[in-house]
A and B are shown apart, each in its own frame.
Chain A
Amino acid sequence: MQMLRSVHDPVGTATAVGFAVLGVLLIFQSQRMSAMGSVFPITISAAMTLLALVLVIRNVVLGLRGITPKPASGGGEGGVSGGSNLRRALFVALMAAWIALLPILGFYVASVIAFFAIMIVATHERLSPMQIAILIALGFAILTGFYLLMANVLLIPMPRGLFF
């Protein structure tokens, strides 16, 4: 048990290692740029690497001294922990699929499919047929309304695919 806790804030430390690696990578990338174009990237990448390393060292030292992390979300911006990670993953996958399908199926059709798929993922309770009917009507109203607003009022060129 003590061994597991040997690093203070393991997730944050691992991420910091990632940032340090990214910083080094970007410093190498910046070598190919012109003098004026590279001064900021190199400075900031170096600063990020340095700060990340300081964080890692600090966490390791704190870990060795056995100080456990304070509960997160001190700034009021922390995420919600717990809940279904499967739903989270499904949501992200559906969003990605939505964006990928927009140019293929067309804006409206892709959005209808993705909208209701995400609706299923976000629904936690069993719904009565009446509620389902209301949700479907609401969904189509929102989708159609915004589509018309974008395409015909704001004159945005919408991605068109097989359908519209």
Chain B
Amino acid sequence: MLQELLNGIVVGASYTLLALGFSIVYGLIRLINFAQVSLYTLGAYLALYLTPLFASWLPGHGWVAFSLSVAVCGLLTGLVGVLVAAFAWWPIRRAPTISMLVSSLAVLILIEALIEVVVSPLPMVVKVPVDNRVHEALGGHYSSLQAAMLVGGVALTFLLYNFIRFTKFGRAIRATASNVDSAVVLGVNVTSTTFVVFGIAGALAGVSGVLVSSTYGVASFTMGEIVGLKGFTAAVLGGMGSVWGAVVGGFTLGIIESMSTFLLPSQWTAVVAFGILILVLAFRPTGLLRTRASDRA
């Protein structure tokens, strides 16, 4: 029981990161950014090359090399996120939502397909140069990498929350989400603000991809599809557009899913997540939390 709770919390951290990405982009331009899912996968595949590279530069400092790899992969996927905004969203920013959704979807398929063609259609084994010990806690056990995943997820969420809530740029993001034209006449460059938000979402997805693939030791070019769906479910569960909503939704979903393994084999967790999505949309489409305006993104 406690073991499942522990697993759920760790997985919840990765859902939270994806949910945050969906949430901030949706809050700003009302777009479900499918492309983000491919950046999760891209992050994992970049780490496949970068983690061993950094480990070879920093022999004996496995954790340092791994942390560096997480950071660099996050930066790179963030950059790709900005490129996606520039090439697949900006030219059609005035088009109907459906065009934007399809364009975002096409980017998702393109990046996945490129990974499939360039790397391999087969799942890849991910090796991490750290001493991945198993620890005991609360009657359950967890690995060092699982701990790293939780710490990384919580730290990034904390950073993002404070960035959006208290910095000048964060305020500009919230203002743009609330009233675009007012933000413009006050001097906010909406285009670059949106690019930055796509970048943040991309970086969060990338980091999540690296942490998950490293923790579970495997990456595949379709790894983002189901997880992306869960990240979105988490965002809807907590209430789209809210940072706290994404956190609550992410951990709630992770824990429910993990607990559901008492009843169902683990390959059905996606069905559980999807069932939750249907129920939430049917009965409480604005999410479990009443969105507090002050942390809206």
- Please say whether chains A and B are actual partners in one complex: no
Question: Interface residues, chain A, CB within 8 Å of chain B?
Answer: none
Question: Interface residues, chain B, CB within 8 Å of chain A?
Answer: none
